Amino acid sequence: MEYTKQEFMAIVTGREIKDGQLIILGVGLSMLAGYFAHLNHAPDLRPFTEGGVYGSTPVGGLPWGIECNRISANATSFTNAIDALGFLVASGRCDNAVIGAAQVDKFGNVNTTGIWEEPPWKLGKYVPPRVRLNGSGGANDIAVGAKSYLIMASHEKRRFIEKVDYISSPGYLDGGDARERCGFVGGGPSAIISTLGILRPDPDTKEFFLDAYFPSTNVEEVKASTGWDLKVSPDIKMVPEPTEQELANLRTVDTTGSLRKKG
């Protein structure tokens, strides 16, 4: 069965999503994972977007944006950002979410803001980034307010680093009870799903360890692709390959195959 790394990552992320959850989804892989879950095993999933689009499933392929007509065509309600990110997420009502990351570190902190020659926290001053990314968007609000959330990222050493250049969306900060000390409503990231495996946080230290790896790789390769000394679960597992049904359901969402082309 042929499938891409991106497709597998979306399916594995989707498997983490439970039926009945109130879930906020962003554009691209996040939406693909969410609507795959909706179609595959979570018929009563309650997905919404940070712009306030409720109750819809995309038509005509993956939406170009979270306000695109492909997601607006069969919505049951349109509201706004203060409703979606405030009344539902910041209030602590939202069960789950999926966010992306340009960089992620061992405590699940995410950078989607910029890449610096020397990170601001090293320089002791703020300077313009060498590469500007998108900013946090709603991911910071989700990271702070959702009961739990999932992080998706391509597993490369330059992305999985000891400490991110800039924390756009806080995971467990410097570990332990750091989130509690900040007074965040939400519980933090429950998993990092990469193109190589699944990482989960240690219950006490909150450092992410390798819980399972994809059939296409092995533990050594995952460790070598990680920029910190990645700990491995004593009962490390291999992630089951996508079933034909899962793949069919995923491609029913991604009808235009936009993520199949990405390899």
Partner 1 sequence: MHNKLMTMQEAVAAYTWDGMTYCHGAAFPVGSDSVAFGKEMVKQGRKDLNVICHCGSSQVNLLAAVGAVRRVEVGFSGLEVYGFANGLNRAVTSGQTIIEDYSNGAMAFRFFGGAMNWPFVPATVNICNDQQWCSGDEPQVYPATAKIPTITDPFTGQTLGAFRSLRPEVAAIHVTMADIHGNAIMLGSEWSRFEMSRAAEKVVLVADKIVDTDCMRQYPNLVRIIAEVVDAVVYWPLCSWPQASCGLYDSDEEHMFYMNKAMKTAEDTEDYCRKWVRSYETPEQYLDLIGHEKIAKISATETAFLMDPYRKWIKSDAQVAELLDRAKG
- Catalytic annotation, residues: 50
Distance set, CA 89 to CA 116, 138, 152, 243, 250 (Å):
30, 10, 19, 33, 26
Residue with tokens 């492909």: 70
Q: Which stretch binds partner 1 (CB under 8 A): 1-9, 14-22, 71-79, 206-214?
A: 71-79
Q: Does residue 261 interact with partner 1 by CB under 8 A?
A: no
Task: Identify the residue among 65, 187, 240, 257 touching partner 1 (CB under 8 A).
Answer: 65
Q: Which stretch binds partner 1 (CB under 8 A): 37-45, 58-66, 151-159, 193-201?
A: 58-66
State which of positions 101-140 bind partner 1 (CB under 8 A). 109, 113, 120-121, 123-140
Least Å distance, CB 35 to partner 1, is 15
Q: Does residue 22 interact with partner 1 by CB under 8 A?
A: no
Least Å distance, CB 46 to partner 1, is 16
Binding interface with partner 1 (CB under 8 A)? 27-28, 49-53, 59-60, 62-70, 72-73, 78-82, 85-86, 89-90, 109, 113, 120-121, 123-141, 144-145, 166-170, 173, 178, 182-185, 258
